[in-house]
Chains A and B, each alone.
Chain A
Amino acid sequence: MSNSKILANSVDVYYGSKQALFGISMDIKEKEVTALIGPSGCGKSTFLRCINRMNDLIEICKVSGSIKVDNEEIISDKTDVVSLRSKIGMVFQKPNPFPKSIFDNVAYGPTIHGLVDSKNDLEEIVHSSLKKAGLFDEVKDRLNEPGTSLSGGQQQRLCIARAIAVNPEIILMDEPCSALDPIATAIIEELIDELRLNYTIIIVTHSMQQAARVSQKTCFFHLGELIETGETNKIFTNPDNTKTQDYITGRFG
């Protein structure tokens, strides 16, 4: 069995006076894909954004409890958010490439972290990241064109390449395929399957088929609570909880 990479312990999140997450505890293993599923507004995105402290951007959001990444507490004022985020990449719901060239999009992360000393190194990182994201062959002749000129699916893979370029260990994906067509979705899903070999991936998804296809573990959220977590196979075939059963069979949500 692989080791646990992220260990959450009774995480509570409040938006102002409204509580959004209730005592979430979770154990996420290394180099696995964990899917977070549940109806809209159940808190799965909120939980995802706790892991790289993206919730800091929301002023009224308060997080308490404990999340340990590689045994290091990250819900603390002492946490270095910048290096945390370089370790935990994130891909957003809507592709958000910078309005710069494809090359610059991928090069931005390595440049600000000072990962490269020479132009050649940078080129190397950009190329390998694009290759890992399965985009290189499609864009190798037009690296200087703006990232926003790509199709939606390509943009999303560009965002994955951008995340990979800073050499993270964990990649968070917040409904990465919700804005994409089925073909682009299939490509991204294949990519996730490949990335699993090197990265720990947590993916929020609305599509149960997607969760079933790409993940090894699945966590079901409902109304801010973690209802059930387990092997994906088991969750989708024989869940312990009746709410999970109802959700995956489409009776609510």
Chain B
Amino acid sequence: MNNSVAKEKIVSLRKKRSLEDMRFKYYGFTAMCLSLAVLVFLLYTIFSKGYTAFQKTIVLLEVDYNQEVLKLTPDSSDEEMEKGKFFRVKKQAIENFFPDLSKSDIKLVKKLFSINVDNEIKDYFLDNPEVINTKQQIWVTAHSDVDQLLKGNSRRDVPEDRRKLNDIQLSYVDQLVEENRVKQVFNNFFFTKADSRHPEIAGVAGSFMGSLFTLFTVFILSFPIAIGASVYLEEFAPKNRITELIEVNISNLAAVPSIVFGLLGLGVLLNVFGLPRSTPLVGGSVLALMTLPTIIIACRASLKAVPPSIKEGALAVGATKTQAVFHHVVPLALPGTLTGTIIGLAQALGETAPLIMIGMIAFIPNIPTGLTEPSAALPVQIYLWVESAERGFQEKSAAAIMVILIFLFMMNAIAVFLRNRFERKW
């Protein structure tokens, strides 16, 4: 083959090769666009469904804190005030909500208000005891049906018998809107209250705390165990058949479906050891077992990434093996280890199936304050709300998804930050 023939061949093939380059670039670009589009669509759906949950509807109610009705005097002690007859005050306020209400109308008006109004009337009084024997205009929470109607989530053009609010109630709501006695404000309940049967006072605080306690348990259990196991396997274990078998099985465990770990928790932790059901302690233990393999794999990778020359340097000045490992190798591997742990925790945060198995799906209307108290967790809360028939829970579940996503993004951001801040280039 002489020179000019070779040149020609190269040129003709070169066209084909550059076309290949181009094509592959477009494949990659398309794939990326597609996945981005899916992500944007997902976020848009969640946000457009959920953002209304951050607002609640409140109604202006005139309350007469009459001492006769309350059965209190201005000199009553705090304890007596706690026991004031606030439900009677509320009843009176609702009866006078619109002028000249009949008995059946009062029943209908009552359904415009949240069950929580009693508490709100009481709390207002306890905060301002001087209002006794005065009439006060206070904003109280509206019933979820009113809330949903005003947010446009439920329609008024369907037949009356398929609506939550009948025609009379609709006219009441319209009247309130006209008189500016109703408005929408930031929904603090969503962030301060636990689950409830009533959508307007249901919040994620309970399940958020439950998730935090669960993650705390996961971290406390899995981090030291994972570090111990990976340091042993990486630095101390003899390389033989048994350690090889262990290594393979750690990888296998990482791929075990999470519900299997849930069954393990149910069978062993609850039934054999008798730990309390539905608690972050049990949930965290199960999730710790589930995330351990992931964290161990990440820990070992970061231990492996520490150059052996550092360990050799330490050994050469007469450090023992333990000193060389714990003074030099482990601290250098720590950022990678922490990153791996956070990724594992993020995985644990989103896990639902094992928690259902150990009973964290129970309806828990109060905020847990400890590891051994029954509680819900964020993903399970979402599952519960999505299942609920009440329209008010639909926006709540989308909003809870936002909360869990932000939680996840923050954890991943911390992982990225740690990696960038402390990772060493060799």
Contacts and interface: CB of A to CB of B under 8 A. Distances in A.
B318 A162 contact: no
A202 interface: no
Contacts of A165: 317
Interface in B317-345: 317-320, 323, 327-328, 332
A40 B52 CA distance: 73
Given A59-B239, A108-B327, A112-B323, A99 B318 contact: no
Given A82-B318, A98-B328, A162 B312 contact: no
Contact of A85 (B318, B327, B424): B318
B313 interface: yes
Given A99-B332, A99-B424, A85 B309 contact: no
B315 interface: yes
B313 A96 contact: yes
A89 interface: yes
A54 interface: yes
Contact of A166 (B238, B307, B309, B318): B318
A237 to B, nearest CB: 35
B309 A94 contact: yes
A145 to B, nearest CB: 15
Contacts of B317: 85-86, 89, 108-109, 112, 162-163, 165-166
A113 interface: yes
Interface in B372-416: none
Interface in A118-161: 159
B310 interface: yes
A52 interface: yes
A92 B312 contact: yes
Given A59-B239, A108-B327, A96 B309 contact: yes
Contact of A109 (B310, B318, B320, B424): B318
A57 B319 CA distance: 13
A83 interface: yes
A102 interface: no
B239, B307, B313, B318: which has the most chain A beta carbons within 10 Å? B318
A91 to B, nearest CB: 8
Contacts of A163: 316-317
Interface string A92-107: 1010111100000000
A90 interface: yes
B315 A54 contact: yes
Contacts of B309: 92, 94, 96
A181 to B, nearest CB: 20
B314 interface: yes
A215 B9 CA distance: 59
A99 B310 contact: yes
Contacts of A90: 316
Contacts of B323: 112
B314 A52 contact: no
Nearest to B240: A59
A52 B318 CA distance: 10
A96 B327 CA distance: 15
Contacts of B328: 98
A109 B327 CA distance: 12
The interface centre, meaning the residue of B312, B317, B320, B323 with most chain A CB atoms within 10 A of its CB, is B317
B313 A82 contact: no
B58 to A, nearest CB: 59
A92 B317 CA distance: 12
B315 A57 contact: yes
Contacts of B319: 82, 108, 112
Name which of A92, A108, A163 has the most chain B CB atoms within 10 A of its CB: A108
A112 B317 CA distance: 9
Interface string A164-188: 0110000000000000000000000
A41 to B, nearest CB: 20
Question: Sorted from nearest, which 8 A-B pairs have the closest CB atoms?
Answer: A86-B318, A109-B317, A96-B309, A90-B316, A85-B318, A96-B313, A82-B318, A166-B317
Interface of A: 52, 54, 57, 59, 82-83, 85-86, 89-90, 92, 94, 96-99, 108-109, 112-113, 159, 162-163, 165-166
Given A57-B312, A112-B319, 13 more contacts: A52-B316, A85-B316, A90-B316, A92-B312, A94-B309, A96-B307, A97-B313, A98-B310, A99-B332, A109-B317, A109-B318, A159-B313, A163-B316
25 contacts: A52-B316, A54-B312, A54-B315, A57-B308, A57-B315, A59-B238, A59-B239, A82-B318, A85-B318, A90-B316, A92-B312, A92-B316, A94-B309, A96-B309, A96-B312, A96-B313, A98-B310, A99-B424, A108-B314, A108-B327, A109-B317, A159-B313, A162-B313, A163-B317, A165-B317
